[in-house]
Structure 1
Amino acid sequence: MISALKKLLNQRLGDTGPRLTQSEAAAALLIEVVLADEDLSGSEQRLLPEFIARLTGVCVDEAHALMTNAIDRHQQAISLFEYTDLINKQFDLAEKQALILAMWQLAFSDGELCQYEEQIIRKTADLLYLKHSELIQLRNQAKPD
């Protein structure tokens, strides 16, 4: 009975698609920040593959592929939860902090912090269960002098 119900639901809802990897989730969160102001500046475009490579441990070519994939995913993204849920399961505290730091650095890289960029970073930090004091410390660390 249960298996018949599962089969029916799978037929009705269709396949949910391929599962995200932690690298794809991290890249997607970085993309969410840089596209928050609907403008991918030259500095953001230059730094993004470097940050993806550093956070995920992939080479720069793979980081470019992850970046392209994340931009495509951005169009269909419903919420940040699909990314942060995976990050929570697979990243430790230091990796989560490194991700938020990279998000702040990208937000500051074009010379101005957009309110939408800040909102996405704050929401992401909240979903990653980081303390507000950690968020502020990471922002101050990323903020240019």
Structure 2
Amino acid sequence: MIAKLKQFMHSRRQAQSPEDKAHQLNLAAATLLLEVVYADEDFCESEIQLLPGMLVNTINISLAEAEELIEEATKVRGNATSLFEFTAEINQQFSLEEKQQLLLSMWRLAYADGELSQYEDQIIRRCADLLYLKHSELIQMRNIAMNDQ
């Protein structure tokens, strides 16, 4: 059963066009950033306003594309069962530098309202682990984000 599921998922990935794969990757990154925004259940306007710009800078898309992606990520996020489905996609496609940039964007979003909640911290740390980033990289990106404030 598991072998059949793996085979199905592998064939599904190969059947996607390059545009579909890029969109899925961008959607995964957007969803992770959105997780930080929703982590503390305190919808801070500064975080919400910062999100489209973070997507533009992190995954090199236009502002209009970022806003569409946020809408779609909001829907996908509600149906997600874990962060793994998003981080797995990113692990396959992102370089180390791109993963670090994504993590830095997550920290910047978390600090946008001037304070870091324990839930934001927890989401970011869990994502860093799932992205196979070292603890020192996690701390380095956090310090950069803190100094940007």
TM-score (normalised: structure 2) = 0.82
Q: 2:57 aligns with which of 47, 54, 58?
A: 54
For residue 25 of structure 2, what is the aligned residue in structure 1? 22
Identity in percent:
53
Q: 1:142 aligns with which of 138, 141, 145?
A: 145
Q: 1:98 aligns with which of 101, 109, 128?
A: 101
For residue 84 of structure 1, what is the aligned residue in structure 2? 87
The Cα of 1:56 is off from its aligned counterpart by 1.6
Are 1:129 and 2:132 an aligned pair?
yes
**Higher helix fraction: Structure 1 or Structure 2?**
2
Once residues 117 and 77 of structure 2 are traced to their aligned partners in structure 1, the CA distance between those partners, rounded to angstroms, is 18
Once residues 31 and 66 of structure 1 are traced to their aligned partners in structure 2, the CA distance between those partners, rounded to angstroms, is 10
Q: Deviations over 1:14-68 (max 9, x none)?
A: xxxx976110000000000110011321111111000111112110011001011
Are 1:111 and 2:114 an aligned pair?
yes
The Cα of 1:95 is off from its aligned counterpart by 0.1
Once residues 74 and 26 of structure 1 are traced to their aligned partners in structure 2, the CA distance between those partners, rounded to angstroms, is 11
Once residues 60 and 30 of structure 2 are traced to their aligned partners in structure 1, the CA distance between those partners, rounded to angstroms, is 12
**CA-atom RMSD, angstroms?**
2.1
Equivalent position SS for 2:111? helix
Q: Give every structure 1 segment of 4 or more consecutive aligned residues whose post-TM-superposition deviation is greater than 3 Å.
A: none
AA matched with 1:95:
E
Are 1:38 and 2:41 an aligned pair?
yes
Q: Deviations over 1:71-116 (max 9, x none)?
A: 1112111100000000000000000000000000000001110101
Larger CA Rg, structure 1 vs 2: 1
AA matched with 2:95:
D
AA matched with 1:118:
D
Q: How many equivalent residue pairs?
A: 132
Moved more, 114-123 or 31-40: 31-40
